[in-house]
Amino acid sequence: MDLRIEADNLRRFVLNFPPEPDLTSVRGIAGSVGIGASQQPLVLFPIPLDAYCTPDVIVETFIEGVPLNEWVKQQTDADAAADAAAAAAADGSRSGGTGTGTGTGTGGTGGSGDGSSGGGSAEVRHKLCNRGIDAFLQMVFHDNFVHGDLHPGNILVTPQGALAFIDAGIALTYTETEHQIMVDVISQFLQYDGRKAAEVLLRSAPYAHDPEGFKASIEQMVRTATDENNFFERVGDYYAQICSAA
């Protein structure tokens, strides 16, 4: 494998996702996760250092961050800890009288005010998820240049709360016909119509061994994704499910 291909992919992704002039007003996420509104792209990519890239070696800028699934676990663990602390505070308030209740209540308010409570971190997760979906849709609908390996291990959350995609060795560009199929399928997913999405896929690939089973599987996948409200966190799982259903 020629690693200069990955370097070329990264350069193109960096150009496709330049810094946005006013991220706060466009998506409302900057203030809640510490992102600089006038400096941050929708999603970050490592920048290849051309002088050190060869067919066998790629050197790129380092992006500090944790994998998306690990970050989500940290957030949900923090939610659980905050909920447990709130429950303990409520119990102490009931058993300790008015004075103790007032002191404990102030501490609880402080926890929710800095975003460490369940509601605060859930909002951050939701906004970051929307940001990732925006990036994916831009790649598909606008750029026709798609990161081909977006499993959670290749999606990082930086300490500043930015989203980063890494490992861009696989990037996909579609023909006009293929691109239209992608647009049609994703449009049906956005309307939560898994059966119609499956029908579009079957028209382009009529060799499926069990068309009705395929439709039912994709319909169930979309229903699950809708109920769980975490599509971007599990995009790799859903991709694998589509392949398995075919």
Checking phi first, is residue 66 left (phi over 0); if not, alpha (psi -120 to 50) or beta? beta
Contacts of 153 (CB under 8 A, 6+ apart): 67, 69
pLDDT digits (tens, 9 = 90+) for 3-32: 999 999 999 999 999 997 654 433 443 334
Q: Which two tokens stand for residue 243?
A: 């392949």
Residue type, 182: M
pLDDT digits (tens, 9 = 90+) for 64-75: 999 988 998 888
DSSP 2: -
Rounded average pLDDT per 10-residue block, the chain, 246 residues = 94 93 44 51 95 96 93 85 86 63 40 38 82 90 90 91 93 89 85 90 77 88 72 56 56
CB atoms < 10 A from the CB of 226, how many?
A: 12
Single pTM value for the model: 0.69
Q: Which two tokens stand for residue 156?
A: 């990082």
pLDDT digits (tens, 9 = 90+) for 84-101: 888 888 887 776 655 444
